[in-house]
């Protein structure tokens, strides 16, 4: 199946700093990618839909100025957590569908990025 890669897989930062997470589709093009956040023992929560060449669409309650999303190419979307605080510590996961693939609903997920803010 298609491969989605995230980097870094884990990051530790100081409170107040910004952290960038990359999501790449390695063998397919994705005009749209999705960013999820998962707290311990909870389900994945959709944060935003990343659209290539245009602004991201954020879910209710997710601050767009806090979580900056850039989808500059058909294979790369980035999520920047700005001025991170301990409450932003979480597992961030991206996903994508093959833009040229069948419309069957399968999402391909990255390995996730564990952010810990001290």
Partner 1 sequence: LAKTTQPISMDSYEGQEVNITCSHNNIATNDYITWYQQFPSQGPRFIIQGYKTKVTNEVASLFIPADRKSSTLSLPRVSLSDTAVYYCLVGYGGATNKLIFGTGTLLAVQP
Q: Confirm or reject binding of residue 37 to partner 1 (CB under 8 A).
A: no
Q: Confirm or reject binding of residue 89 to partner 1 (CB under 8 A).
A: no
Q: Using CB under 8 A, which of the segments 11-19, 60-68, 78-86, 88-96 binds partner 1?
A: 88-96
Residue nearer to partner 1 on the CB measure, 79 or 110: 110
Q: How far apart are CA 111 and CA 32, in angstroms?
A: 18
CA distances from 81 to 21, 53, 62, 98 (A): 8, 20, 12, 26
Residue nearer to partner 1 on the CB measure, 13 or 109: 109
Q: How far apart are CA 105 and CA 55, in angstroms?
A: 23
Q: How far apart are CA 76 and CA 60, in angstroms?
A: 24
Residues contributing to the site for partner 1 (CB under 8 A): 1, 4, 6, 30-32, 34, 36, 43-46, 49, 51, 91, 93, 95, 97-99, 102-112, 114
């Amino acid at each position: 199946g298609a491969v989605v890669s995230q980097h870094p897989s884990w990051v530790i930062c100081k409170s107040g700093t910004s952290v960038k997470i990359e999501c790449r589709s390695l063998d397919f093009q994705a005009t749209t990618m999705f960013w999820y956040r998962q707290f311990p023992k909870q389900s994945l929560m959709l944060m935003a839909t990343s659209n290539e060449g245009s602004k991201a669409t954020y879910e209710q309650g997710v601050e767009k100025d806090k979580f900056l999303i850039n989808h500059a190419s058909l294979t790369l979307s980035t999520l920047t957590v700005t001025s991170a605080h301990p409450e932003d510590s979480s597992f961030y996961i991206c996903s994508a569908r093959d833009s040229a693939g069948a419309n069957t609903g399968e999402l391909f997920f990255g390995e996730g990025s564990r952010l810990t803010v001290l």
